[in-house]
Amino acid sequence: MTAFKNLMDFTRQTVALGQISGRLGWDQETMMAEGSGAQRAEETAALEGVLHARRTDPKVTQWLADIHDATLDQAGQAQMRLIREQHTRASKVPGDLAAEIARVTSSAQGIWAQARAAENFAQFAPTLERVIALKREEAQAIAGDGDVYDAMLQDYEPGTSAKEIGAMFDALRPRLVALRGKILGSETTPRALDRDFDPDLQMALSNKLAQGFGYDFNRGRLDKAVHPFSSGSGNDVRITTRTDPRNPFNCIYSTIHEVGHACYEQNISQDYLLTPVGNGVSMGVHESQSRIYENQIGRGAAYSDYLFGQMTQTFGDIGVADAEAFFATVNRVSSGYIRTEADEIHYNLHVLLRFDLERQLVSGELAVADLPEAWNARFEADFGVKVDKPSNGCLQDVHWSVGLFGYFPTYTLGNVYAGCLNQAMRKDLVGLDTEFAQGNTSRATQWLAQNVQQHGGLFESRDVIARATGGIVNEQPLLAYLEEKFGQIYNL
């Protein structure tokens, strides 16, 4: 067992350094001065060089060869599986390329933010071209004769392919489009909020809701960022949100969404701390946690009853008559521009748009210069609305600036997983709605912690969902949930 102990000791140091790199990213998004961007890019590149050297260290190759997996317990075998996958993948990427990707994507974040603020895509386009070229080079090195985009997907949802995801999306699209059509043709029109809401009070309420969902502030914090995100794992997991005086739901539901991510990381067994198993198994499973917290629980009729009371207590008269009307307002369907603010019907259409466009960018079928036109045309076709400015179009998301190609489809995959988990949870736990109406989510979040979160990377992603649901992993529970919920709200 000496080789295994040596490997794990070395790996824990590598994982710890990776956490430090993540903290640099958190700081850049929340606290760092604007003029520090160039230096931060160099710092990030230097640290990535160290990490890449450790991941490809010949000692790791030797330890992997010396260890017999059959002599290890279940957790040890999972550690070996993940270390071996990471080592093999990293070994195919030249160290100078890994460092250059880190440098360019770090500075690209700031360039994207400036271009977004200036509503000027041309200001960002050369940087995006550079990011795509570097990520394509990296993926080609990994894929060999295989598909480049599939190689990118493995960073976020190991074991899947664009063909598999595309087939699932093709099954989702017709019923989503049909449901959207029925809703928009309905005579029922839930009222939208139409007044200002103090940003400081939004943050105070969001802190309270985060704690109510089980987020441990002793091991984390909530800050503001341009694009809400969750960062870290184990005993240092940080979340961000954003405020808009005209849209408090943006802050509230972004917070609940990121709490789902954060609780996943906080609830992984402490036995796996600072090891490969001590992180969420995939972004699809990660999104299943954020989406079930945000939607099936947070936007459900019972919890919205509780939230209505909290909103009126915090802000006074919010312009909505009662809890029933508030439930409809929370779930109001409209063809908005912004993915993170989208209702549950349009959200997946946002993702499908990005999935198709990023595959075209990676393959070279779509030139970066033509991205705004392609985005705007697809958006108008799917949403029936013309994009009015780049920040409401192809500059709204941070993902491509930091090289996260292959990430977007995991959002809808997470919705599919959340539908399966919600169905199974409802079968196992009777009386949840009575508790949700009191703001008590503890039994639901404990069920998720026990059946999904505590395992971290112990099992492969589809196995995690299958074990929790009794084997059900398909899009049907999600579609049934959406059709029932919105059929009720819109009297379909």
258 is catalytic: yes
With left for phi above 0 and alpha for psi between -120 and 50, is residue 223 left, alpha or beta?
beta
Q: Smallest Cα–Cα separation from 401: which of 28, 10, 6, 14?
A: 28
Q: Smallest Cα–Cα separation from 245: which of 291, 278, 197?
A: 197
Q: How far is CA 227 from CA 250, 293, 371, 395, in A?
A: 11, 19, 21, 12
CA gap 158, 282 in Å, rounded: 7
CA gap 415, 291 in Å, rounded: 6
Say which of 138, 157, 258, 344 is annotated catalytic: 258
CB-count exposure of residue 76 (10 Å: 0-12, 13-18, 19+): middle
Query: Buried (b) or exposed (e) across 50-59, using 16+ Cβ within 10 A?
Result: ebbebbbbee
Cross-strand pairs, 222 = 239
Under 8 Å between Cβ of 490 and 186 = yes
Question: Looking at this protein, which amino acid is placed at residue 360?
Answer: Q
Segments of 424-477 assigned E as strands:
none
Under 8 Å between Cβ of 441 and 303 = yes
Under 8 Å between Cβ of 475 and 168 = yes
Cross-strand pairs, 232 = 237
Q: How far is CA 10 from CA 16, 22, 153, 469, in A?
A: 10, 19, 27, 36
- Cα 428 from chain centre: 26
With left for phi above 0 and alpha for psi between -120 and 50, is residue 198 left, alpha or beta?
beta
Under 8 Å between Cβ of 17 and 51 = yes
Q: Where are the alpha helices (DSSP H) in 119-247?
A: 121-143, 148-153, 162-184, 199-212
Q: Smallest Cα–Cα separation from 393: which of 415, 417, 370, 376?
A: 376
Q: Could you list the active site residues?
A: 258
